[in-house]
Amino acid sequence: MKRSKTMELGVGLFMLAGILGLLFLGLRVSGLTFDMPGDTFRLEANFANIGSLKPRARVTMSGVTVGRVTAIELDRDWYDARVILELDAELEGKLARDTTAAILTAGLLGEQYIGLTVGGDPEMLVNGDTIRDTQSALVLEELIQQFVSNMVSD
Amino acid sequence: MIESPLVEVKGLHFSRGEKTIFNGVELQIPRGRITAIMGPSGTGKTTLLKLIGGQLTPDVGRVLIDGHDVHELSRKALFTLRRRMGMLFQSGALFSDLSVFENVAFPLRVHTELPEAMIRDLVLMKLQAVGLRGARELMPAELSGGMARRVALARAIALDPDLVLYDEPFVGQDPISKGVLVQLIKTLNDALGLTSVVVSHDIPEALSIADYVYVIADGQVMAQGTPASLDVDEDRRVSQFVHGEPDGPVPFHYPAPEFFRDILDLEGRP
Amino acid sequence: MIAHILNLGRRGCDVLEALGRSGLFLAQSAVGVPSREGWYLWLRQMHFVGVLSIAIVLVSGLFIGMVLALQGYTILVDFGAEQALGQMVALSLLRELSPVVAALLFAGRAGSALTAEIGLMKATEQLTSMEMIGVDPLRRVVAPRLWAGFVALPLLTIGFSVVGIYGGYLVGVEWLGVFEGSYWGGMQSSVAFIGDVGNGMIKSMVFALVVTWIAVFQGYDLVPTAEGISRATTRTVVYSSLAVLGLDFVLTAVMFGGFS
């Protein structure tokens, strides 16, 4: 059977393009990274209320993404939400112990993410530490309730 | 003739839907001869070939090829048996995406492990036999009907089969092509020691090469014999068919009410 | 009345019988020993059903992505949420539009061609003659086409998504002025690779199987006349479109419907 090189080339390119496309969807669209586990370190933070924070949400400092939320679970000792963060390994040992973590919202209806603000404690956070100082998500209903009760009491 | 026939068809019944096509057909195809199976259009001659080739299964009856019951074989054994058969289809049935050369090489490639050089020699030999060695690079769409049939014949004999089935080889051919095909079937049969079964309703051509003839009509073998004996057969149905008379036991008119009554509308309109 | 019930029953039996036949057909063709020859036949069909469908799929993907961005922007901007545009475009494409639209285009472009091609081979007795040569046409003709379709459609779906997301970028970022960082950032934070891209791919594979199966079966099973071929081609497009849309609902309910 006669083999046509152009056809083989066409099919080869087609399949290659498909694989590259899948890589694009993985890296650029769903933001997968090929970081080694050693490239990150873990911190934990307990929040009274996480709002609609989801795993894989961004963790930022001054608006710059420095990590991701990897897991959210209920802390059975305190009955609040324990959030596991994974941060760039470069930051290990450089964040003060009194760093605060706040759940923020991008825009009025946007996604929720965690913002870190550095403190001034001389001791630094290392892998596995817990951030003590946290600020829960703003829940719209609570805000309105507060606002209304303030109006009434005025 | 002492040796057993190559193909035996015993008590064959076959129907398609409500319509009975064969109702107890008995055939014996002798080895090394050309047997013609003739009959009016629509009597299921092609169906008979498909039954012999094992593509259709009869309701009742058996088809034995060299002692093997075709319809009792496993799919694999049937495909093995088919390597010993070649079939020439009415339309040629060349693979339209392969060149003439590749069409003839196809059975060799799928059934043998021969080196490319030997395949080439064999293909050219077969093409030479049908006079189309020069057309090997053409595609089937570029061939005339007669040429396509000759290529198909070369393909059918590519594996040197024992049995070649010809389905209406002469239909729609000009006189020259007919002559060529008649010649080819005869010479190939004699030169290669094949057993040939020719299904046809082209009487002069079929009778000119056949050693033995079966005439099939109404689902049964109506007459059999050598071409000479059929030519003088007393049976009116046989003589109508063999001599091509327009009216006779096979009526010219499709069954209908009497013309006079019909045209005066005495039966009420349908 | 009785006659109607009888008729219904007969039709039911016909449908069941056709389903059974096509199931056997699928099982017989899909199972086969891969060979060098088979590989090459598959390659030819990949060219035929895959490479030749690239243009229509990519162009449609680009336009669908652009339209999505345009429509999405006008809705989102009312809520001040236009930074969610990337997320919206990517999720609609990956989860829903790419698999479905690519499958529908594939049914129209490649499926109908497969039916017609196999039907023509049947009408010209090529399949029968192949059988008489001792080659199983299910292996030789149907299997490479089935596998080529099964591989080609998911690849085309990936292409559709990529081009669609790029089309959304062109309209949203380059034209309507959504901030580039929030287009990609919103997308990355909301698209899950396994959950969205992966499920979209699974959908696409299911559609690929169903569309190619319908196409080759209709070709193999048709009445070998000119009219039969044209009818079977129409049936291929109609049945595969309906099957794709119906299955899409089922798959979406299972994957994203929140039942578990």
Q: Compare CB distances from A24 to C43, C162, C182 and report the shortest one's residue.
A: C162
Band the pLDDT of A1: cuts 50, 70, 90. Answer: very low
A1 contacts in B (CB within 8 Å)? 98, 102, 109
Cβ separation C81–A110 shorter than 8 A: yes
For position B53, what pLDDT does the model report?
Answer: 83
User: What residue ranges in chain B does DSSP mark as E strands?
Assistant: 7-16, 19-29, 34-38, 60-65, 68-69, 85-88, 163-167, 195-200, 212-217, 220-225
Cβ separation A111–C161 shorter than 8 A: no
Band the pLDDT of B29: cuts 50, 70, 90. Answer: confident
In this prediction, the answer to ipTM > 0.85 reads no
- B50 interfaces chain C, CB cutoff of 8 Å: yes
Q: In this predicted model, what pLDDT tens digit does every residue of C15-25 receive, in sequence order?
A: 888 888 888 87
Pairing of strands A130-131, A80-88: unpaired
Residues C153, B102: contact at Cβ < 8 Å? no
The larger pLDDT score, comparing residue B212 to residue B244, is at B212
For position A139, what pLDDT does the model report?
Answer: 77
Q: What single-letter amino acid sits at B169?
A: P
For position B1, what pLDDT does the model report?
Answer: 45
Q: What angle do CA C212, C217, C221 make, to 5 degrees?
A: 160
The burial class, CB within 10 Å (0-12 / 13-18 / 19+), for B49 is buried
Cβ separation B79–C132 shorter than 8 A: no
Q: In this predicted model, what pLDDT tens digit does every residue of A14-71 receive, in sequence order?
A: 999 999 999 888 888 877 766 555 578 888 888 888 888 888 788 888 888 888 888 8
For position B268, what pLDDT does the model report?
Answer: 59
Q: How far apart are CA B189 and CA B184, in angstroms?
A: 8
Strand, helix or coil at A137? coil
For position A7, what pLDDT does the model report?
Answer: 84
Q: Compare CB distances from C128 to B93, B110, B111 and report the shortest one's residue.
A: B93
- B152 interfaces chain C, CB cutoff of 8 Å: yes
A2 contacts in B (CB within 8 Å)? 99, 102
- B143 interfaces chain C, CB cutoff of 8 Å: no
Q: What single-letter amino acid sits at B40?
A: P
Kindly state the average pLDDT of the residues B59-73: 84
Residue C73, both tokens: 């922007």
How far apart are the CA of B50 and the nearest CA of chain C, in angstroms? 9
Q: Across chain B, what does the average pLDDT equal?
A: 82
For position B134, what pLDDT does the model report?
Answer: 87
Band the pLDDT of A110: cuts 50, 70, 90. Answer: low
Closest chain B CA to residue A1: B102
Nearest CA among C96, C95, C109, C94 for reference residue C59: C109
Q: How far apart are CA A83 and CA A101, in angstroms?
A: 11
With a cut of 70, list the residues of chain C below it in pLDDT: 32-35, 258-260
| This prediction's pTM | 0.79
Kindly state the average pLDDT of the residues B28-38: 87
The full set of domain ranges for chain A reads: 1-34, 40-144
Kindly state the average pLDDT of the residues B200-204: 82
- Select from A3, A6, A29, A68 the residue whose CB has the most chain C CBs within 10 Å, as the one to mutate to test that interface: A29
Residue B256: pLDDT above 80? no
The burial class, CB within 10 Å (0-12 / 13-18 / 19+), for A27 is middle
Q: How far apart are CA C42 and CA B208, in angstroms?
A: 47
The sign of the torsion formed by the CA atoms of B56, B59, B64, B69 equals: positive
Residues C149, C211: contact at Cβ < 8 Å? yes
Band the pLDDT of B66: cuts 50, 70, 90. Answer: confident
Band the pLDDT of B201: cuts 50, 70, 90. Answer: confident
For position C259, what pLDDT does the model report?
Answer: 58
Cβ separation A29–C84 shorter than 8 A: no
